[in-house]
Amino acid sequence: MPHATHYTSRASRPARALLQSQRVRALLFSLVPDVYLTALTLVPAALLLAVLPTAGVFDAPGPGGLPGAALAGIGAASVMLCWLIALRPRSRSPGGLVITRRAAPQLLALIESVRVRVRARAIDGVLLGTGLYVSLVRAPRSLLPGFQRHVVIGLPLVFALSRAQFRALVAHELAHVSRARGLEGLHIWRVRDRWLRWADALDAEPRFGRFLLRPFFRWYVPRLVSITAGLASEHELAADRHAARATRREDLAAALLRLAVIQRLLAERFYPRLLADVRRCGVPPSGLQARFEVALREMPADPRFAAWLDAALQEAADDGETHPSLRERLDRLRIPELRSAAGVAFLKRAFADQSDESIARHCLADAPPEVMLSIEKAWIDDVQQAWNDRHEELLRLDSRRRELDRKSRLTFAEALEHVITTAETEGIDAALQHARDLTGCRPDMAPARFVLGTLLLRNNDAEGLEHLRQAMAQDPELEPTATELAREFLRANGREHEAVEFSRQELRSLGA
């Protein structure tokens, strides 16, 4: 891992000029919806003013002695106002359970103290959701100008982070509505967020005037995302810097890294076991919170922990995503190389047991039981919905597997599909023999070698490295994926030094 770089270094003069030109372009492009909406608003008023003279309204005196022209102007303004209100998206409250001061006074006091420290605008409420996140949701008000601002906190997060880590993460989110100077890209971020929420509101609900707005926003939004991607990413890094000044950069970095690894723990360990219990018992298990806390304590000792950590650090930012990659954010926060002595010490602090320092213990311990039970049920319902979707997929795969079983002869593509569907529905052990038979019949086919090697590595068998080596030799396009699988296997089995220096040539030597 390269050493962290300082994000405070000044950009070169050409780079600053390019960045300034991007800002000007983004600002000009952000005005396009305003121009379009203004034109839509003026059209009915112009039509009204064009029709009124033919009806003799301008010449006739109105009630109260007002001239007809004045009444026509008032009528046109009223039409414009009503039309603008009709076009404006309706305010929708973000999903979650509203947290009142009576239910969790300490939590609200903590968020308010962070808000004051980062000089953020006032927020309208705090909601408790079901995901592993804390986010600031801005929704346009129904009639008045401006936005409603809600801080949404996922229930898993209150068990996953310490008080200090939580403060740092909230500080980052509130930096998006801060009045402080030095937050690069703040205006661009707000404009981008505004129009993206308009587009989401149009897609979420049928409404008057939708036929006029949807085609425009379908054209506008992809271009807005493309033009503002770099500036929005710059603002996210500036928000990190602002949060680090308001709290501690080590706490923010630990929170980011910890959440990235816990996401993988949930996907690979916690949720599959939870859904298996739901499927076996038919009802959601009790004690979900205690169960999650146990999983968090056991996480650093999990054989997959090193692989989760490596995957989190190597993951690139998604296209259209405002947040830079985790690796870049840690580098900009000046976190030392994780293989160094200081980096190892940072990892130990980041992944130490947080149960006694968690937000759940400090800020939600006195919350009414019905509040926690209600949001826990919503959490289970969300997981169950995901399981239902996965269950339908497994049923489809199992039906296809049975169909292939009934065939007397299979093509190579069908035989490979049979191996994959068997692994998904019957397990890796059941699929391995089919994979070995297919590789024995067609040893020259790289996909067969690749699937066999993948299944063996998933079964914690180092023999899979040799099959991946042969697959890469037969088809070089498989090299990136095969290399990633091999590195993940080596890290999970404690062979860190081999995984770090891993290359295609080393993969061949390891398999030999």
Q: For residue range 41-93, list pLDDT tens digits in order.
A: 777 666 666 665 554 544 555 454 445 555 555 555 665 666 565 566 665 66
* 144 is a domain residue: yes
Q: What is the tally of structural domains in the chain? A: 4
Last residue in a domain, options 248, 265, 296 = 248
Same domain, 228 and 336: no
Please say if the pLDDT value at position 8 is more than 50: no
Dihedral of CA 125/131/135/138: which sign?
A: negative
* 371 is a domain residue: no
Contact 86, 79 (CB under 8 A): no
Whole domain around residue 221: which residue ranges? 97-248
User: What is the pLDDT confidence band of residue 329, given thresholds at 50, 70 and 90?
Assistant: very high
Contact 263, 160 (CB under 8 A): no
* 20 is a domain residue: no
Half-sphere exposure of 76 (CA within 13 A, CB side): 20
Average pLDDT on 37-41 reads 76
Same domain, 437 and 479: yes
Element (H, E) at 280: helix 271-281
Last residue in a domain, options 67, 87, 107 = 87
Same domain, 271 and 329: yes
* 13 is a domain residue: no
- In sequence order, the 6+-apart residues with CB closer than 8 A to the CB of 373 are none
* 361 is a domain residue: no
- In sequence order, the 6+-apart residues with CB closer than 8 A to the CB of 155 are 128, 129, 130, 289, 375, 376, 379
Q: For 5, which DSSP code?
A: -
Same domain, 53 and 171: no
Same domain, 110 and 220: yes
* 360 is a domain residue: no
* 109 is a domain residue: yes
Q: Tell me how far apart the alpha carbons of residues 98 and 107 are, in angstroms, rounded to a whole number.
A: 12
CA dihedral 320, 326, 331, 335 (to 10 degrees): 160
Of all residues in the chain, the percent with pLDDT exceeding 70 is 73
Q: What CA–CA distances, in Å, run from 295 to 245, 290, 292, 302, 308?
A: 32, 9, 5, 9, 14
Contact 329, 249 (CB under 8 A): no
Give pLDDT, residue 427: 74
Same domain, 212 and 244: yes
Same domain, 264 and 241: no
Same domain, 142 and 161: yes
Same domain, 321 and 439: no
Closest-CA residue to 281 (of 423, 393, 426, 387): 387
Q: Tell me how far apart the alpha carbons of residues 210 and 92 are, in angstroms, rounded to a whole number.
A: 17
Element (H, E) at 6: none
Same domain, 108 and 234: yes
Contact 249, 334 (CB under 8 A): yes
Least confident of 147-156, 375-384, 480-489: 375-384
Closest-CA residue to 188 (of 405, 354, 23): 23
Q: Tell me how far apart the alpha carbons of residues 502 and 169 are, in angstroms, rounded to a whole number.
A: 34
Closest-CA residue to 82 (of 51, 40, 31, 32): 40
Give pLDDT, residue 84: 60
Query: Do β-strands 125-129 and 134-140 pair in parallel, antiparallel, or remain unpaired?
Result: unpaired
